[in-house]
Amino acid sequence: MREVDGRGVIASTLEPSKNWMDFYVAPEDQPPLQAAIDRAIATRGVFEAIAKVRRLDGSTGWVHSRAVPMFDTNGEIYEWLGTARDLTDRREMEEKLARLTAESESQRRFFEAMISGTPDLI
């Protein structure tokens, strides 16, 4: 990675880095992210991935990254131009909604069991 403008979400850098993934990306998300990078390079296509990242304040967040390859006159990739969007608030809301949905389903089953008189369904 050559340069990152973190826009207050992740750390910015103007210095090239070969170990950027260790710095920015959660360890459990590094293998699938590397696989997405390798696929994009192999297919010479668009790179796209969602990964957990270390945010500027040290907390964990989610980022959707997308990059397109730039080709030289020989048709070789010489650079990737991309963007990243902070999905943290969206992911947190999705997780909260999933928990609420699970709780509602559990309550529904409880009340159905109470009404039907079959507590073994609880």
First vs last C-alpha separation in the chain:
53
Q: Say how far apart CA 45 and CA 67 lie, in whole Å.
A: 9
pLDDT, one tens digit per residue, over 5-38 is 656 666 566 666 678 888 888 999 999 999 999 9
| 75/95: higher pLDDT | 75
Domain spans, the chain: 1-86, 87-122
Q: Say how far apart CA 61 and CA 77 lie, in whole Å.
A: 30
| 47/82: higher pLDDT | 47
Cα dihedral 55, 85, 4, 34 in deg (nearest 10): 80
Q: Where are the alpha helices (DSSP H) in 13-81?
A: 20-24, 30-43
pTM of the model: 0.66
Q: Among the CATH numbers 3.40.190.10, 3.90.190.20, 3.20.20.70, 3.30.450.20, which is that of 1-86?
A: 3.30.450.20
pLDDT, one tens digit per residue, over 94-104 is 888 888 887 77
Predicted pLDDT of residue 20: 81
Residue 73 vs residues 41, 70, 78, 82: alpha-carbon distances, Å: 17, 10, 10, 21
Q: Say how far apart CA 63 and CA 48 lie, in whole Å.
A: 11
Predicted pLDDT of residue 3: 58
